């Protein structure tokens, strides 16, 4: 029977991270995945990622996937695709099903489980009609299969997944009729919400889907407002002519294989539900079986990748490929990186829950949590929004230039007002005019005297939250530059409707520049000229429809 040193199950970011690090230090690795391509969800991610330089922030997800595959290949990781793990049997023998027709048995000295997450379902009358699908399924259709699931989409859930996929559906050419959110505020990042709202997509907070109607497939969606106890309020129903309803209400860790392998599971609602507990080396309660990525708690790709790398070095160290001192150093480095990603108001409940996993592994009472809770809370100013904030609110933040500076001429305007782990704008500025200190989750601070309004930061911002305002474009007109990622691009000299942050038409504007330079990586920077009074209002143009 074949015996490998390390079997990694799941070739998404966590599994690739584990396989890469373990083989970097000398372990022989077999990486298996049930799909016909490696990369997990990475190749569906066409947007620029958040994070810091070491996380390749500002790079699009599929490009990160390509780099990881290249690295895995150069390190000699063996990847077996269309390979399902059927079970871990007696005497720790693992049974694999290859291409649905071949059984293989093997033994592994160590196993890393990186089986990812499963999208949660939401049941409502009509949810089994064709046209109702998970948001992830819609994303696979548009970004992998290049097929539009429908033309008029209703998105259920305003977390980052719902917001990002709504944006990508717009990019693919669909109309998004609205996003419903049962909570009283937008649950994902405001910058993601900003992208779809500038395109005119309404977000209905305190709303849920009531029913999908249609004879053979979805023809209409009925949404309804919720009261404070989440009960539907009769008479508030709205009918939307949707042909597709996408469900994006969170994920569960895909824990079945871990459970079957005998790993102890515990319930962490902040991280998606039941998951295998692990120690700070990512080792589960079953010795020799390690856990990484969404399986150990639903987060995002960067955290999954770093957790995978951490599991990889732990395996390499346990096999004797890394000495203790070096392992300690590397481990600390990865924990620092993970702590950074879990900083800020959005990461804070996850950070607490992650500590809970490790302390429940150590069978310690989770008594210190309260203290840590307070410490973390003190470092965060969680502010969630129902809608795009007013201009006055934006102006209170350190990225918005003062009125006197705006009147002096071209200057960056950073509308990034939530503490999220992201900093590519700092490196993009050639004049060191943007600072993010002391944490990666701190808000960007604009040194408006150093800023020359060159606009190098605009395309670098994964949140598309940076604009350049040029008050002195001409005697009557100002110029406003903004990022734009829809095809077809507008042409210089064209006249379009300028829209505000909520996508509402403000005034007709003229396109004066379309900058598509290569290092903007497909984010065009459009400059428009308009009346001076709109300098703090207009932030984009109406999306140009292909068939227009």
Give the footprint of another protein on this chain (CB under 8 A): 1, 34, 84-91, 93, 95, 97, 100-105, 118, 120-121, 123-125, 127-128, 182, 208, 226, 229-232, 252, 254-257, 259-260, 265-267, 269, 273-274
If 0-12 CB within 10 Å is exposed, 13-18 middle and 19+ buried, where does residue 423 land?
buried
Give the nearest distance from C-beta 125 to another protein in angstroms: 5
Work out the number of other CB atoms within 10 angstroms of the CB of residue 330: 20
* Lateral strand order in the sheet of 152-156: 132-134, 244-247, 152-156, 175-181, 203-205
What is the spatial distance between Cα 442 and Cα 403, in angstroms, rounded to a whole number?
23
What is the spatial distance between Cα 396 and Cα 379, in angstroms, rounded to a whole number?
19
Closer of 294 and 423 to another protein (Cβ): 294
Closer of 85 and 177 to another protein (Cβ): 85
What is the spatial distance between Cα 431 and Cα 103, in angstroms, rounded to a whole number?
60
Give the nearest distance from C-beta 243 to another protein in angstroms: 20
Closer of 2 and 545 to another protein (Cβ): 2
What is the spatial distance between Cα 209 and Cα 247, in angstroms, rounded to a whole number?
10
Give the nearest distance from C-beta 11 to another protein in angstroms: 17
Give the nearest distance from C-beta 163 to another protein in angstroms: 20
Closer of 160 and 252 to another protein (Cβ): 252
Closer of 74 and 259 to another protein (Cβ): 259
What is the spatial distance between Cα 405 and Cα 402, in angstroms, rounded to a whole number?
5
Closer of 239 and 329 to another protein (Cβ): 239
- DSSP characters for 342-354? T-HHHHHHHHHHH
Confirm if 318 and 110 have CB atoms less than 8 A apart: yes
Give the nearest distance from C-beta 124 to another protein in angstroms: 7
- DSSP characters for 271-313? GTEEEE-B-TT-BBSSTTEEE-GGGGS---HHHHHHHHHHHHH
Give the burial string for 19-41 (b: 16+ CB within 10 Å, else e).
Answer: bbbbbbbebebbbbbeeeebbbb
Residue for token digits 């709202």? 197
Give the nearest distance from C-beta 220 to another protein in angstroms: 17
Closer of 1 and 378 to another protein (Cβ): 1
Closer of 248 and 523 to another protein (Cβ): 248
Closer of 281 and 359 to another protein (Cβ): 359
**388 DSSP 8-state letter:** P
Closer of 182 and 292 to another protein (Cβ): 182
Q: What Å distances lie between residue 108 and 94, 280, 289, 308, 402, CA to CA?
A: 8, 22, 10, 18, 62
Give the nearest distance from C-beta 308 to another protein in angstroms: 21
If 0-12 CB within 10 Å is exposed, 13-18 middle and 19+ buried, where does residue 513 land?
middle
Residue 187 — φ and ψ, nearest 5°? -90, -20
Give bridge partners of residue 179 from the DSSP assignment. Answer: 155, 203
Query: In the numeric block, which tokens belong to residue 292?
Result: 């990484």
Give the nearest distance from C-beta 84 to another protein in angstroms: 5
Give the nearest distance from C-beta 209 to another protein in angstroms: 9
Give the nearest distance from C-beta 226 to another protein in angstroms: 6
Give the nearest distance from C-beta 250 to another protein in angstroms: 9
Closer of 106 and 454 to another protein (Cβ): 106
Give the nearest distance from C-beta 259 to another protein in angstroms: 5
Q: What is the dihedral of CA 496, 498, 502, 504, to 10 degrees?
A: -70
Provide CB contacts within 8 A for 340, sequence distance 6+: 52, 421, 439, 440, 441
Closer of 128 and 475 to another protein (Cβ): 128
């Amino acid at each position: 029977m074949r015996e490998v040193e390390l079997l990694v199950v799941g070739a998404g970011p966590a599994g690739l991270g584990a396989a890469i690090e373990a083989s970097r230090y000398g372990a022989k690795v077999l990486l298996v995945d049930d799909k016909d391509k490696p990369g997990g969800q990475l190749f569906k991610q066409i947007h620029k990622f958040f994070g810091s330089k070491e996380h390749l922030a500002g790079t699009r997800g599929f490009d990160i996937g390509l780099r990881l595959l290249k690295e895995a290949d150069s390190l000699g990781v063996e990847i077996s695709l269309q390979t399902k793990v059927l079970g871990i049997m007696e005497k720790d023998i693992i049974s694999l099903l290859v291409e649905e027709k071949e059984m293989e048995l093997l033994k592994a000295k160590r196993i890393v489980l990186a089986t990812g997450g499963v999208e949660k379902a939401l049941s409502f009358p009509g949810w089994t009609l064709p046209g109702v699908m998970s948001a992830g399924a819609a994303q696979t259709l548009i970004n992998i299969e290049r097929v539009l699931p429908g033309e008029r989409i209703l998105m259920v859930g305003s977390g980052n997944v719902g917001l990002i996929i709504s944006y990508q559906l717009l990019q693919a050419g669909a109309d998004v009729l609205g996003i419903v959110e049962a909570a009283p505020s937008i649950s994902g990042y405001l910058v993601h919400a900003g992208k779809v709202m500038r395109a005119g997509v309404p977000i209905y907070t305190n709303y849920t889907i009531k029913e999908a109607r249609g004879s053979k497939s979805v023809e209409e969606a009925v949404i309804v407002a919720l009261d404070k106890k989440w009960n539907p309020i009769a008479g508030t129903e709205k009918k939307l002519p949707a042909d597709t309803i996408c469900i994006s209400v969170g994920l569960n860790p895909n824990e079945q294989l871990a459970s079957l392998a005998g790993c102890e599971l515990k319930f962490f609602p902040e991280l998606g539900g039941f998951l295998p507990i692990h120690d700070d080396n990512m080792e589960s309660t079953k010795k020799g079986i390690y856990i990484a990525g969404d399986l150990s708690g639903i987060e995002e790709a960067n955290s999954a990748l770093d957790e995978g790398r951490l599991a990889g070095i732990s395996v390499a160290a346990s096999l004797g490929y890394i000495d203790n001192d070096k392992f300690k150093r590397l481990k600390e480095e990865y924990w620092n990186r993970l702590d950074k990603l879990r900083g800020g108001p959005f990461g804070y409940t996850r950070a607490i829950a992650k500590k809970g996993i490790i302390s429940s592994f150590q069978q310690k009472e989770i008594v210190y949590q309260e203290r840590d809770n307070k410490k973390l809370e003190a470092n965060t100013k969680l502010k969630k929004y129902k809608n795009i904030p007013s201009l006055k609110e934006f102006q209170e933040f350190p990225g918005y230039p003062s009125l006197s500076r705006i009147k002096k001429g071209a200057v960056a305007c950073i509308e990034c007002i939530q503490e999220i782990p992201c900093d590519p704008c700092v490196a993009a500025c050639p004049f060191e005019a943007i600072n993010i200190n002391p944490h990666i989750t701190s808000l960007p601070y604009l040194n408006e005297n150093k800023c020359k309004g060159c606009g190098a930061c605009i395309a670098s911002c994964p949140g598309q939250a940076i604009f350049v305002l040029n008050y002195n474009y001409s005697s009557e007109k100002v110029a406003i530059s903004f990022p734009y990622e829809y095809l077809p691009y507008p042409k210089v000299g064209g006249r379009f409707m300028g829209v505000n942050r909520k996508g509402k038409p403000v005034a007709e504007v003229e396109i004066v520049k379309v900058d598509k330079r290569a290092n903007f990586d497909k984010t065009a920077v459009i400059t428009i000229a308009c009346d001076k009074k709109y300098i703090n209002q207009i932030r984009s143009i109406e999306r140009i429809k292909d068939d227009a």
